[in-house]
Structure formats: structure tokens, C-alpha cells
Amino acid sequence: MTTSHLPSPDLAIRVAGLRMAYGPHEAVRGIDLAVRRGEVFALLGPNGAGKTTTVEILEGHRSRTGGTVEVLGHDPARHERAYKERIGIVLQSTGIDRYLTVGEAVDMFRGYYPHPRPREEVLALVGLEAQRDERVRRLSGGQQRRLNVAIGLAGDPDLMFLDEPTTGFDPAARRQAWEMIRNLRSTGTTVFLTTHYLDEAEQLADRVAIIAGGRIIAEGSPQSLASGQTRTVIQFRMPAALCVLPVPPEVAEVADDGRVRIETAEPTRTLLALTRWAGDAGVELPNLTVSRATLEDIYLQLVDASEAVGAAE
Ligand code: ATP
């Protein structure tokens, strides 16, 4: 599926045939990407796939060796000030005076932009209103990271780059960060996200692209990628009163501890056979679950297949 046919005003990012080589090593090998304005787009891929290289080129922090890149109508390689004022980048280290308060730090960065976002709005977006008068040096690690995001938002960017925004967060902080990204999206900001957490992409992204070995190997909404997967997984524990399953032995895996896993392209028919089988014997199927493949299952299959092709090349 591609969105590259959309007219430019509808797209925040349009990339065609992007290449980047570090000496003889081609880290990005001719990728196409199209990100609509106002969507959350996630770039996923294993270590070394080319994500950071791609993001740095989009941000204007790295030059490319080939292809065309248009972000908010600008070529980032030109380093135009007007471009930098419209994008938001989260720096790992911002060099903020740690004796400033959170509000003062945000105001300082707001001062660098012609049309900054109101301070209270910035603080609300990242959930730091209660820390407004707290000194930066007294923030927790997670709050410090949120302040870094706040600084990226100070100029009221049209497009925000978030590179692994929740790495190292505890589960509650991750949920807060997700909330923040949803808030951003609701204000119409386009978000370009990279993450290693597939559940994060599934929760947040309107569309994802999977990059492996410098090439895009899949693109689409998390749901559309998952729906390409026709198999359903049925799992339960073998009831003590029963031993012979009512499905062909080759479709069922039975573990030593009695856990049964059946992958089927005919879930209704298979479930009917199983529930009849248990019902006739008057027993329950303990721990019964029926699930579709997750984005993570699909991601792992696609990346494995692509690595097998890469190894054969
Ligand atoms: P990760 O998930 O580990 O952050 P990534 O997908 O962001 O990985 P990149 O950092 O873009 O991957 O790296 C892509 C490839 O380019 C890797 O093989 C990496 O070793 C190589 N590479 C990255 N930066 C440089 C550099 N400055 N000089 C030489 N090679 C580099």
C-alpha cells in the first residue's frame, strides 16, 4: 500500500529512492516513504536497519547519498531556518541550566521561535504542570525526558520526531508518554516515531513502515498488516478427562505440561469441533484463548524472512 500518490499539501513527508552509504556500506538502500499530515507514523526495524540514519536525514542532521526528500515542503539538506522552526526534535541532552525552573526552561526555548506554543499548553501536553516551579535538577529521570519533549514542542512544530520515546520507562511512565503522543496528535501535529516496542506502534501509529537491511519491507496501518495474517491461534490446557484431540494431529502442538496450541485458518469450524468435544464430555477447556496474530508476530515473521533473503544475496 502506498500514499505517495497523494498531493504534496496532504503529505508532511515524501521520500523517494533515499540512499545513504557510509563508505562502502549502504545503510539505506532506496526507500520510499509518505507520511500524511496529522498522522502518527512509526518506523520500525531491528538494530542496524537504518532507522536512525533515515530520521537524521529527515531532520536535516545528516546528508544523503541519493534520492529525494521533502519534509513540510522543504529539502532538509538545505538547512533552512524556516524548516528548523517547523519541526520538533527531542534532544537527549539539552544543556539546560539545571537551576532554572521547568517553566523558565520552557520559556527560554520558546524565546527562540517566532510563534511559540503557549507555555501552559506545552506543560499540559507533557504532563509537567505540577512541576512548573520545580528546579530542573530536582526532576526524576522520566520527568527530565518529558521536559526534553516539552522543549521540542516549544516552537509549536507541525512535525515532531520522537526517537524511541519510551525506552527505559516504567510501565506507568510509558502510558503517560502514550497519552502525550495522543494529545499531540489531537492538536494536529504530525508525529514521526521510531520504536522497538511493537505494542507501542500498535497502540499509537496510524501507519507503520518496517525497515530491514536498509529497505522498506512492509507498510500500512497496524490493522492492515495484521489482517494480512489469516491464521488464528487457539490455546487451552488439555482437560484431564480427555486425551485424543478432535483435530488432525499435525495442526496441534501439545506441550509436556498439557498446553495445546492450534493454529488454524478456519477458527469457527475448529472452535466448534473443540467445544463439541469438550461439551460432549461435560468438561471445560481450561485457560481457553483465541487470538489473532499481533503486530509483533507479523513483524518477526517479516524481519526473519527478509534476513533470510539478505543472507542468501
Ligand atoms: P538501532 O535500532 O540499533 O538504533 P538503526 O535502525 O537506527 O539501529 P542505523 O543507526 O541507521 O540503524 O544504522 C544503519 C547501519 O549503518 C548500521 O549497519 C550501522 O552500523 C551503520 N552506521 C550508522 N551510523 C554510521 C556511521 N556514522 N558510520 C558508519 N556506519 C554507520
Contacts of 96 (CB under 8 A, 6+ apart): 105, 108, 136, 147, 151
Please tell me if the CB atom of residue 51 comes closer than 6 angstroms to any atom of ligand 1: yes
Contacts of 1 (CB under 8 A, 6+ apart): 219, 220, 224
What is the model's pLDDT at position 3?
Answer: 56
* Strands laid side by side in the 11-22 sheet: 25-36, 11-22, 66-71
What is the model's pLDDT at position 192?
Answer: 97
Residue 48 Cα to ligand 1 middle (Å)? 5
What is the model's pLDDT at position 229?
Answer: 64
> What number does the ligand 1 atom closest to the CA of 45 have?
6
Please tell me if the CB atom of residue 310 comes closer than 6 angstroms to any atom of ligand 1: no
Topology annotation, domain 36-61+75-226: Rossmann fold (3.40.50)
Collapsed DSSP state (helix, strand, coil) of residue 310: helix
> What number does the ligand 1 atom closest to the CA of 52 have?
7
What is the model's pLDDT at position 1?
Answer: 44
CA distance 292 to 119: 44
Collapsed DSSP state (helix, strand, coil) of residue 106: helix
pTM listed for this prediction: 0.83
**What one-character DSSP code corresponds to residue 76?**
G
Where are the chain's structural domains? Answer: 36-61+75-226, 230-292
pLDDT tens per residue across span 194-208? 999 989 999 999 999
**Residue in 22, 58, 59, 216 to alter for ligand 1 test, most ligand atoms within 8 A of Cβ:** 22
Residue with cell 487457539: 234
Please tell me if the CB atom of residue 215 comes closer than 6 angstroms to any atom of ligand 1: no
Give the residue, by CA position, lying nearest to ligand 1 atom 17: 48
Residue 49 Cα to ligand 1 middle (Å)? 7
Closest CA to 180 of 204, 209, 199, 198: 204
What is the model's pLDDT at position 66?
Answer: 96
What is the model's pLDDT at position 7?
Answer: 57
The low-confidence residues of the chain, meaning pLDDT below 70, are 1-8, 94, 227-230, 312-313
